[in-house]
Amino acid sequence: MSEKYTRTDFDKYMIPCFYPAPFIPIKGKGSQIWDQEGKNYIDLAGGIAVNSLGHANTQLIEALQKQANKLWHIGNGYTNEPVLKLAKTLVKSTFADKIFVCNSGAEANEAALKLARKYALENYGHNKSEIIAFNKSFHGRTLFTVTVGGQPKYSNDYGPLPINITHLPYNNLEAVSNHISEQSCAIIVEPIMGEGGVYPANNYFLIGLRELCNQYNVTLIFDEVQTGVGRTGSLYAYQEYGVEPDILTSAKGLGGGFPIGAMLTKEAWAQVFQPGTHGTTFGGNPMAATVANNVLSQITQELLLGVKKRNTWIIKRLNELQEKYNFLKEIRGMGLLIGVELAISWKNQAKKLINLAAEEGVIALIAGPNVLRFTPALNIPFSDLQEGFIRLERAILRLNS
């Protein structure tokens, strides 16, 4: 690019929904990134659990380029081969009978919540519309999903909001069983709460939710936007838990960096959406579906095993750092979705620590003011992990001094 762009241009021309880092990345390969100045970073964030196979993955580039020469978009008056392949693959490898394809996690959840309401209406009549969700959960930024999410600060200013949504404490089965009734329509839950601080659900909690949903004819929705597509060491986290939802939403890692979302469900729910009842212009376009197909083809048993090995490696390394610096209170998560809650003495310093880490050349995330979050590419080389944690240690030292 001949013209030079700077971080200042962000403040000048972009609506300030975000507060991006002072540097601007321009290139990535695998789990490394370079900025405008040529500075190198190890990427332990993976674009917030999106770049599941790293940056500039050779196979993804080839698949995308091949499809780019054939067909980009055709519209909903026609179907296309890549999306049919995607549907077949997801159906064959999960609990689902059918899928709906969209462009993001919020859209997948929006579709899921709408489907649950319509399913309840058609099967049980009016007066069964209550959505049960959990405190601190995150489901996206559309008005419906942000209201269902458990962080009121994200929805308060946008009223009037959709109604009949109840928030209960996460991992508290008793609270749900005390509250749920025949008027409840759906429960939506993240098997591992991501944005809210990386809290895995207890097994008994998900099993209990399944039983309560069966008992009260309530649709169980698993939001696997962050936990899906190999992130936990299984294709989807529900497979780790052995508890099947009625609807599952997927996005983030599904496109490996290309925008795509999907809602997976069983036949009884699928038939509630008929032509005209729900839709999307871009959803299921051949470009996005081609990339997702290629991502899924690379999520092999070997790759999933590698996710678990990397988890073990990271936990061990964190424990070594803990012995030296006593900086953490708890390590949570599964596979390559790892949260590190900082010790009381380091309270509210997560953001400061990742800023220092970026200065040292390693990118990580936070999940709330006290939690560091690591969501690297599922295939991050061990040598990059090694170097990344050396740089992270330098940041810890600086914060400590």
| Minimum distance of ligand PLP from residue 288's CB (angstroms) | 13
Mask 33-72, x = binds ligand PLP (CB under 6 A)?
----------------------------------------
Looking at residue 203, what DSSP letter applies?
Answer: H
Residue showing tokens 């059918």: 98
Query: Binders of ligand PLP among 66-105, rule CB under 6 A?
Result: 104-105
Joined together, the tokens standing for residue 57 give 């993955």
User: 128 or 167, CB closer to ligand PLP?
Assistant: 167
* Among the listed residues 226, 311, 349, 379, the single contact to ligand PLP using CB under 6 A: 226
User: 124 or 154, CB closer to ligand PLP?
Assistant: 154
Distance CA 197, CA 330 (A): 11
Question: CB of 113 within 8 A of CB of 148?
Answer: yes
Does position 140 bind ligand PLP by CB under 6 A? Answer: yes
Please, how many CA atoms are within 13 Å of residue 27, restricted to the half-sphere of its CB? 8
Residues 6+ apart with CB under 8 A from 283: 100, 101, 102, 103, 107, 261
Does position 194 bind ligand PLP by CB under 6 A? Answer: yes
Does position 225 bind ligand PLP by CB under 6 A? Answer: yes
User: 195 or 246, CB closer to ligand PLP?
Assistant: 195
Residues 6+ apart with CB under 8 A from 141: 106, 154
Q: How many residues form the binding site for ligand PLP (CB under 6 A)?
A: 15
Stretch that binds ligand PLP, among 20-28, 222-230, 365-373, 377-385 (CB under 6 A): 222-230
| Minimum distance of ligand PLP from residue 201's CB (angstroms) | 12
Distance CA 164, CA 183 (A): 10
Does position 251 bind ligand PLP by CB under 6 A? Answer: yes
Does position 190 bind ligand PLP by CB under 6 A? Answer: yes
User: 108 or 396, CB closer to ligand PLP?
Assistant: 108
Does position 106 bind ligand PLP by CB under 6 A? Answer: yes
Kind of pairing between the strands at 130-134 and 98-102? unpaired
Does position 223 bind ligand PLP by CB under 6 A? Answer: yes
Measured between alpha carbons, how far is residue 388 from residues 134, 346, 371, 392 in Å? 34, 21, 18, 6
Residues 6+ apart with CB under 8 A from 279: 76
Q: For Cα atoms 401, 42, 260, give the angle at the middle one, nearest 5 degrees.
A: 125
Q: Which residues bind ligand PLP (CB under 6 A)?
A: 104-106, 109, 138-140, 190, 194-195, 223, 225-226, 251-252
